[in-house]
Amino acid sequence: MGIGIRKPKFELKTPEQFARMREAGLVVADALEQVRVAVAPGVRTIELDEIAEAVIRGAGATPSFLGYHGYPASICVSVNSEVVHGIPGARVLEDGDLVSIDCGAIVDGWHGDAALSVPVGEISAEVADLSAVTEGALWAGLRAAKAGNHIGDIGAAVKQYVREQDHSFGIVVDYVGHGIGSSMHMPPNVPNIGNPGKGPEIVVGMALAVEPMITLGSAEVDVLADDWTVVTQDGRPAAHWEHTVAITANGPVVTTAADGGLAGLSPV
């Protein structure tokens, strides 16, 4: 044991690197918006993938999911009981479905990653509430993602928000958010449950993907035979919302939100 220079455990980004991450994040935001408005009964999920890939490539960016551990598409499309990592294909969206879209892009080697759940036509009040609570939980988590806090504060905020809204929703713990930067997935893990003040300290230079996955029933999940699609064991619907947040010297910036997170980080 000698005296050495303490190497940071987590990749810390320079302002210039954060600027590239913001560019990647805005490409993801644009792709998700184009997909969101295309969602309708009768649309095949592969059509959504084609839209997202065209937006990403049109911006001169690269789809990060395509080829990731062999993943065959540019987005994940997870319908109803599919929680995350659904593969786009011939499936036709139907009135009443809730479809979660996850998208990632790379600009000059720097990543953005975000997801949202979109109603198809008219959905039940129960499922609309599930999606709204998941989105609210995401923003509660993002508001806790600031320098001086700890990773456990994020999960604690997500869980507290969900429990304040509804005591029966399931919080998926088998999948977690993550550090992000020169790779899509980097340490630290960002769980959707946690203890305040516990876990690694959040410092300037970190970037985190916060992504609550919330279910109408039990939080237990399985992976389908395609080795990707994560589904609820009880077959009940799930919602998934995600953003990438950069912890800058001027405070947190949500790179994948068009407004940088201004509205969601400081609600009036």
Binding site for ligand MF3 (CB under 6 A): 65, 68-69, 71, 76, 85, 102, 104, 113, 211, 242
| Shortest Å, Cβ 96 to ligand MF3 | 25
Q: In the complex with ligand MF3, which residue's Cβ is closer, 138 or 253?
A: 138
| Shortest Å, Cβ 244 to Co ion | 8
Q: For Co ion, how many residues bind (rule: CB under 5 A)?
A: 2
Q: Which residues of 113-152 are buried (b: 16+ CB within 10 A; e: fewer)?
A: bbbbbbbbeebeeebebbbebbbbbbbbbbbbbbeebbbb
Distance CA 168, CA 267 (A): 26
Please provide residue 31's backbone torsions phi and psi, each rounded to the nearest 5 degrees: -60, -45
**Which residue's Cβ has the minimum distance to Co ion?**
209
Show the binding pattern over residues 184-223: x = contacts Co ion (CB under 5 A), - = does not.
-------------------------x--------------
Whether the ω angle into residue 72 lies within 30 degrees of 0, i.e. cis, is: no
Q: In the complex with ligand MF3, which residue's Cβ is closer, 85 or 143?
A: 85
Which of ligand MF3, Co ion, none binds 22 (CB below 5-8 Å, type-dependent)?
none
Whether residue 147 contacts residue 178, with contact meaning beta carbons closer than 8 Å, is answered with no
Name the 3-class secondary structure at 183.
coil
Distance CA 47, CA 81 (A): 20
| Shortest Å, Cβ 79 to Co ion | 19
Q: In the complex with ligand MF3, which residue's Cβ is closer, 69 or 167?
A: 69
| Shortest Å, Cβ 181 to Co ion | 12
| Shortest Å, Cβ 144 to Co ion | 17
Task: Write the CB contacts of 232 (distance below 8 Å, at least 6 apart in sequence).
Answer: 81, 83, 170, 215, 217, 218, 220, 221, 238
Per CB under 5 A, contacts with Co ion among 101-130 are 113
Sign of torsion over alpha carbons 50, 56, 61, 62:
negative
Q: In the complex with ligand MF3, which residue's Cβ is closer, 82 or 211?
A: 211
| Shortest Å, Cβ 10 to ligand MF3 | 17
Task: Note the residues at the interface with Co ion (CB under 5 A).
Answer: 113, 209
